[in-house]
Amino acid sequence: MKTVLITGCSSGYGLETARRFRAEGWTVLATMRTPRSDLDLGDGPADRLRVLALDVTKPASIEACLAEAGPIDVLVNNAGVGLLSAFEATPMATVRDVFETNTFGVMALTQAVLPSFRARGSGVVVNVTSSATLAPMPLVAVYTASKTAIEGFTGSLAFELAAFGIRVKLVEPGYCPSTRFAENGGPRMAGLIPEAYAPFAEQTFAGYGQVSTVTREVDVADAVWRAAQDTSEQLRFPAGADAVALAAGTV
């Protein structure tokens, strides 16, 4: 019986990943900032599912969550925030806000889990980033920077922890319209595409609407599952046909 702790399970990739691990018979610790009882977390024994409160930007929340969670075998760092903006118009406070969740939150939670993994001589960390790290995309400079930092962090950490029996992996989702990336950015995006950038932004958004090959939440859940099981030295797991094509250099 194995246990996985997944961040950001209130929707999107995290929710689908929780369903996948539960279907595979694992004990699932589904975390989110505000626990909800109305989520469909799939089928499985009730005693193998727990919904826990976790805000990865708050050290006290991390400590309390891990104390309640107990021993885990796999950590999936999925929680993240989106941002569509013209960098010129993006306040540095907003930049820091994005990094707090997408970068520093991942690092903080991973650091908190590692002592128990190292003491046991096993454990897996799966960090979910984005295909924005595979090819330049407009109006996501801050978001891409926050995810690219985790790419470098993960690659280095994989070498650092291999001697302790700990595996570290990356999952790189493609463009997934159903996650409502822009909507999830919330109030932080208001006014961040000024008039001078409006024509370019309209053209960019229209292009996104014409994309035919996209990623689904289940693609990401499958990639996370494969990464968690993988015992080879493979680091990166593109998720979705578009991400796979980018990773292969065919797009």
DSSP string of 23-84? Answer: HTT-EEEEEESS--SS----SS-GGGEEEEE--TT-HHHHHHHHHHH---SEEEE-------
SS3 216: coil
Digit-coded pLDDT (tens) for 144-178: 999 999 999 999 999 999 999 999 999 999 988 87
Token pair of 92 as six digits: 């540095």
Place of tokens 């590692």: 114
- Among 74-78, 87-91, 113-117, 182-186, whose mean pLDDT is lowest? 182-186
Confidence at residue 202, expressed as pLDDT on a 0 to 100 scale: 92
Query: What's the longest Cα–Cα distance across the chain?
Result: 56
Q: How far is CA 120 from the centre of its chain?
A: 25
Give catalytic residues, as residue numbers.
Answer: 143
Which superfamily, per CATH, for 3-247? NAD(P)-binding Rossmann-like Domain (3.40.50.720)
pLDDT band at 46 (very low <50, low <70, confident <90, very high): confident
- Cα 247 to Cα 53, 132, 137, 144, 251, distances in angstroms: 34, 11, 14, 16, 8
Helix residue ranges per DSSP H, the chain: 12-23, 59-69, 92-99, 106-120, 141-162, 181-184, 198-209, 217-229, 241-247
* Strands 166-173 vs 236-239: parallel, antiparallel or unpaired: parallel
Residue position matching structure tokens 């406070």: 93
pLDDT at 115 over 60: yes
Query: Which range has the worst mean pLDDT, 23-27, 213-217, 228-232?
Result: 213-217
The single-letter code of the amino acid at 9 is C
**pLDDT confidence of residue 200:** 94
Given a contact cutoff of 8 angstroms between Cβ atoms, the answer to whether 169 and 237 are in contact is yes
Q: What do you get for the CA distance between the two ends of the chain, in Å?
A: 41
Within 10 Å of residue 203's Cβ, how many Cβ atoms?
Answer: 10
The domain limits of the chain are: 3-247
pLDDT at res. 165: 98
Cα 157 from chain centroid?
17
With cut-offs at 50, 70 and 90, classify the pLDDT of residue 1: confident
What integer pLDDT is reported at residue 212 of this predicted model? 76
- Cβ pair 239, 215 in contact under 8 A: yes
- Global pTM reads 0.94
Are the C-beta atoms of residues 17 and 76 closer than 8 Å to each other? Answer: yes
Burial zone of 189 (CB within 10 Å; 0-12 exposed, 13-18 middle, 19+ buried) = middle
Q: How many other C-beta atoms can be found within 10 angstroms of the C-beta atom of residue 196? A: 11
